[in-house]
A and B are shown apart, each in its own frame.
Chain A
Amino acid sequence: MSSSTSSEVVVRTRHLGKAYQLYAHRSDWLKQVMFGTWKTYYKPFWVLRDIDLDVYRGDSIGILGRNGCGKSTLLQVICGMTLPSNGELRVTGRVAPVLALGATFDAELSGRENIMIGGAVMGLSRSEVLEKFDSMAEFAGIGDYMEQPVKHYSMGMRTRLAFAICAHVEAEILVVDEALAVGDAAFQRKCLDWIDSFRRKGTLLFVSHSPAEVRRLCNRAIWIEDGRIRSQGEPSVVIRAYHRAMAMEKDDIHRFSVSE
């Protein structure tokens, strides 16, 4: 099923599941932490169920699915931001998440200062950031706004700055989550070109609602529905099946409710 360039597995999941714990009252968290051994105070809401996935070195995988199907949670679990509730996960290599771009930006600080902090959070040393600063500024292409507070930036400018930081972290596994939706066409093309060149040397996990991007960048696609893998394989085949399903199935308004 997978068309890998080498046989080394960099991300392996077995029966991976993630349940968010829904509480009736905020204070129940505390009770759960203190008395959780004896009694359960929450309703589990399963976002991911039974995910079996092998990602090989050099793979680039496109992940499709509706809003709230668990795409982002899967990426968060793989990045190690949150732990899975059950199942097994093994990740080998440095992961760079391009999830919520610009989420760490401090609105009061200038673009330059945010690059210093953002770079440190992504695991670059101060000297590395200083060394790559000019290249980052060039990639972002926001000119004199670099010295202005980020609160005066437009959404697109924030994305440019954030992606510029991510593009300069030398990651082995790049995880991109619908990040490019707000950039203008020229910038999107620049980012896609960069991702295209990245996937030749690294491993890519890519969430997108654009079939064209997935077709261009990925050698394998995964369609997630209700927290399970519904289908995976050749991008064009999976995309066709996904679109057919989207056309036939209505938007289900009860999707986000906990089933009794």
Chain B
Amino acid sequence: MPSVKVVNGKQIVVEALDPSQRFKRFLAKPLLQMRYNREIILAILRRELASRFTGSAGGWLWAVAAPLFAIAVYTFAFTTKLQMTFVGEQGQKPIAYALFIFAGLIVFNFFSEMAYRSPMLLHEYAHFIKQTIFPSDMLAVISTLRAAAYTGIGAIVMLICVAAVKGGLPWTVIFVPLIFIPLSAFLMGLSWFLSAIGAFTRDAGYLMINIVPLFMFMTPVFFSPGSWSFPWNLAIHGNALTAYVEIMRDLVLTGTLPNPLTVLWALATAIFTFYFGYWFFDRYRNVIVDVI
């Protein structure tokens, strides 16, 4: 039987746990919460995916058309005289360069969608949080899954284009779905953190609008990370998104396995961000109800 005890604004958990058990509980908590709330997550996710394109005649065609259109524009830009000077690095063919950018953009757009939306996320669902017993920590999970679904569509379009251009896919593409696990965990943590801050102040939203375009150049979307010299390359490689962009390009375009150090860095930042974000959100969730 569920029993809740609250004393002086703090929920009391009756069991006494030693530090190692507390740590295990801390690690398990976000995952257990997701499992426990899976019905709500699915119900709202289904609604969000369905309503994204309601009211448009094209519907889901837009989800496929957008990445196709992007790739067409890049190819056009780099096959015609529009070429900018820094473009022709490593003597790549224009279409290959378009795919090179596209692989970076898929990762980056996932990030930017989350970064733009997260600060307003709790305001969007304020009526749920205030009026019902609602697991507000699951909103970040839902929005990550939604963005992951669109990113997945983009990735499939990319794979089709690569297959069409190169006449086949390298065997390493089977690892592409695996990238989504740490990348989603990373962005989920980011979303928990940003949405908690965004509940207190709208400035978080405006800040992200200014910062995200900056990150586009901090992330090797238009260039390869090796083309920067010390000390800038440290900043580029420190950016966790760089690791995902590199892994994506290795797996899809060059057909090699990624550098283990890059993978390790991606995993470490993902785990840290995931748990830090959840810890931060959990700490302030009771205050957030009264603020929104």
Partner of A33, one of B42, B134, B287: B287
Partner of B5, one of A29, A90, A113, A120: A90
A241 interfacial by beta-carbon distance below 8 Å = no
Given A20-B290, A89-B5, A103-B131: A125 touches B54 (CB 8 Å cut-off) = no
A81 interfacial by beta-carbon distance below 8 Å = yes
Given A88-B6, A90-B4, A93-B2: A117 touches B43 (CB 8 Å cut-off) = yes
A82 interfacial by beta-carbon distance below 8 Å = yes
Measured between alpha carbons, how far is A91 from B93 in the docked complex, in Å?
68
Indicate if the CB atoms of A103 and B8 lie closer than 8 Å: no
Can you list, as one digit per residue, whether each of A97-122 has a CB less than 8 Å from chain B (1) or not (0)? Answer: 10110011010110001001101111
Query: For residue B54, which residue of chain A has the nearest CB?
Result: A108
B13 interfacial by beta-carbon distance below 8 Å = no
Indicate if the CB atoms of B39 and A124 lie closer than 8 Å: yes
Point out the residues of chain A lying under 8 angstroms from B130, CB to CB: 81, 103
Main secondary structure, interface of B, reads helix
Given A121-B134, A126-B42: A90 touches B47 (CB 8 Å cut-off) = no
Point out the residues of chain B lying under 8 angstroms from A99, CB to CB: 131-132
Indicate if the CB atoms of B133 and A120 lie closer than 8 Å: no
A94 interfacial by beta-carbon distance below 8 Å = yes
Can you list, as one digit per residue, whether each of B240-269 has a CB less than 8 Å from chain A (1) or not (0)? Answer: 000000000000000000000000000000
Given A29-B200, A104-B127: A87 touches B43 (CB 8 Å cut-off) = no
Query: For residue A95, which residue of chain B has the nearest CB?
Result: B133
Point out the residues of chain B lying under 8 angstroms from A29, CB to CB: 200-201, 291
Point out the residues of chain B lying under 8 angstroms from A108, CB to CB: 51, 54
Given A83-B11, A108-B51: A88 touches B132 (CB 8 Å cut-off) = no
Chain B residues numbered 1-29 whose CB sits less than 8 Å from any CB in chain A: 1-11
Measured between alpha carbons, how far is A90 from B6 in the docked complex, in Å?
6
Point out the residues of chain B lying under 8 angstroms from A210, CB to CB: none
Measured between alpha carbons, how far is A99 from B3 in the docked complex, in Å?
21
Given A82-B289, A104-B127: A97 touches B200 (CB 8 Å cut-off) = no
Query: For residue B10, which residue of chain A has the nearest CB?
Result: A83
Indicate if the CB atoms of B200 and A33 lie closer than 8 Å: yes
Indicate if the CB atoms of A91 and B289 lie closer than 8 Å: no
Query: For residue B38, which residue of chain A has the nearest CB?
Result: A125
Point out the residues of chain B lying under 8 angstroms from A124, CB to CB: 39
Given contacts A83-B11, A94-B2, 19 further A-B pairs with CB under 8 A are A80-B6, A81-B130, A81-B131, A82-B286, A85-B8, A87-B7, A87-B8, A88-B8, A91-B3, A92-B2, A93-B1, A97-B132, A100-B127, A103-B128, A116-B46, A117-B47, A120-B42, A121-B128, A121-B132
The 3 A-B pairs at the shortest CB distance, nearest first, are namely A120-B43, A103-B131, A100-B131
- By a beta-carbon cutoff of 8 Å, the part of chain B in contact with chain A is 1-11, 39-40, 42-44, 46-47, 51, 54, 127-128, 130-134, 200-201, 284, 286-287, 289-291
26 pairs, CB–CB < 8 Å, chain A vs chain B: A30-B201, A33-B200, A79-B133, A80-B4, A81-B132, A82-B290, A83-B9, A83-B10, A83-B289, A84-B9, A87-B8, A89-B6, A89-B7, A92-B2, A92-B4, A99-B132, A103-B128, A104-B128, A106-B47, A106-B51, A117-B44, A119-B43, A120-B39, A120-B44, A121-B133, A121-B134
- By a beta-carbon cutoff of 8 Å, the part of chain A in contact with chain B is 20-21, 26-27, 29-30, 33, 79-95, 97, 99-100, 103-104, 106, 108-109, 113, 116-117, 119-122, 124-126
